[in-house]
Structure 1
Amino acid sequence: MDAQRALLDELMGAARNLTDEQKKGFREIRWDDKEVCVFYMIRFCPHDLFVNTKSDLGPCPRIHDPKLKERRQINMNYWSDMIY
């Protein structure tokens, strides 16, 4: 059931079940938002690097989403192609 929900979210967006009233306040998360982990977007997050060690930082409070990372990479490739 969760796999079907994830597939529908991927195809139709996370706001697919919201009413028109709820959609007015809804904002899609972008890769450059403050809630998204910058370190994860670039390469790796230090919170993930030191898991199960003395220097364990605990879970990262920011969002780690592979789809956002892909969007960032596509965006960076687009701009690098435009510049060069």
Structure 2
Amino acid sequence: MSATEQMRAMLDQLMGTAREGDESKHRYHFTDHRVCKSFLLDCCPHDILASTRMDLGECNRYHDLALRADYEKAAKHKDYGYDVDVSID
């Protein structure tokens, strides 16, 4: 990963998908069923157990740091119940 890509990832993580003012270019919203709800809560078992004997392989859901930032910002105003719905897919 180049330095530019690392900086872009850090900005996405801090500011979310709307950091450049245009949300339409992003493929998913954090409420989309294809987005990993466990990843949004920073507890995806596929990531946590990576490189262990219990490795589950790659998660089949979409992971994006910008979506996590969007979720964290929105969760301050509304409870989406993702902490209850989190499951291994």
What TM-score, normalized by structure 2, do the two folds share?
0.58
* Separation in structure 1 between the aligned mates of residue 42 and residue 53 of structure 2, nearest angstrom: 22
Q: How many residues align?
A: 66
Superposed CA deviations along residues 17-59 of structure 1, whole A, max 9, x for unmatched, are xxxxxxxxxx841101111001111232100111111111001
Partner of 1:35: 34
**Runs ≥4 residues deviating over 6 A:** none
Pick the structure with more helix per residue. Answer: 1
SS state of the match for residue 78, structure 1? coil
User: Identity of counterpart residues, as a percentage?
Assistant: 25
Q: Is it true that 1:50 corresponds to 2:49 in the alignment?
A: yes
- Equivalent residue number for residue 18 of structure 1: none
Which protein is bigger by CA-based radius of gyration?
Answer: 1
Unpaired runs of 5+ residues, structure 2, are: 9-16, 80-89
Gaps of 5+ in 1: 16-26
TM-score, normalised by the number of residues in structure 1: 0.61
